[in-house]
Amino acid sequence: MSMHLRTVSLTSDEILKELVSDSLPQILGASFEIISDNLPFEGNHVLALNSERQPTVVSYDARDGGRALLSGLAVIDGLTDNRAMLYRLYPALFRGTQQNGSIFRVEEMRLAVLSSKPPPGGAYLEHAFRSLSIYTFRILEIDGKIGLLIENPRLGESGTVNPFPRSSPKTTFRVGGTALSAEEENHFRQT
């Protein structure tokens, strides 16, 4: 039985939102909690607590990594400008654990940028700001089902290794909740 694989592009933000939501464990870790996926800011964002219970904004854009980065920074700025509103809208951010207490601190806020191409200067920014993680994705159709291939890019435009290596999750392939085989992963790494 042959498998039909192809890269596709989306025009629907709603489908991309669903695909990003399905792929959040690869970005935030297995035990994350979504606080809101409908933030009152321009752009596409998810506010969540990652597996380490740190507040994280996942900002995504299908076409422009720079726009995803800038709108993610605007969300963090907007959320931290008015803590009273933040507490009323998202009280889960203030529920603490024994380790970190119940005080929301700006220093704990993390930003994950997800786009088809990394933002300009992304390798430098990711190295300089440890609370920033940049991921790229491709939208794949496999036997009629679509999913995201999510990677933390470590190669530069020239194909050389990023001069600022950092630990990152393994490249993850998601299609309707199932992972691709090693052979399929190898195929997409080569394209």
Q: Which residue has the higher pLDDT, 124 or 180?
A: 124
| Confidence grade of residue 90 (pLDDT, cut at 50, 70, 90) | confident
* The two three-digit tokens of residue 63, written as one number: 């076409």
Q: Which residue has the higher pLDDT, 125 or 12?
A: 125
Alpha carbons 68 and 91: distance in angstroms, whole number: 25
Total domain count, the chain: 1
- Tens of pLDDT, residue by residue over 17-40, are 889 998 999 899 888 999 999 888
* The two three-digit tokens of residue 166, written as one number: 């950092």
Mean pLDDT over 48-67 rounds to 91
* The two three-digit tokens of residue 77, written as one number: 């700025």
Residue 98: is its pLDDT beyond 70?
no
Q: Which domain holds residue 165?
A: 5-190
Sort residue 82 into left (φ over 0), alpha (ψ -120 to 50) or beta: beta
- State how far the alpha carbon of 185 is from the alpha carbons of 41, 113, 148, in Å: 35, 22, 12
| Confidence grade of residue 188 (pLDDT, cut at 50, 70, 90) | low
**Res 75: pLDDT:** 92
- Tens of pLDDT, residue by residue over 140-177, are 888 778 888 888 765 344 333 343 344 433 444 444 44
Alpha carbons 173 and 157: distance in angstroms, whole number: 22
Contact of 163 with 123, CB cutoff 8 Å: yes
Q: Give, in degrees to the nearest 5, the angle at Cα 27 between 21 and 31.
A: 80
Q: Alpha-carbon Rg of the chain, whole angstroms?
A: 17
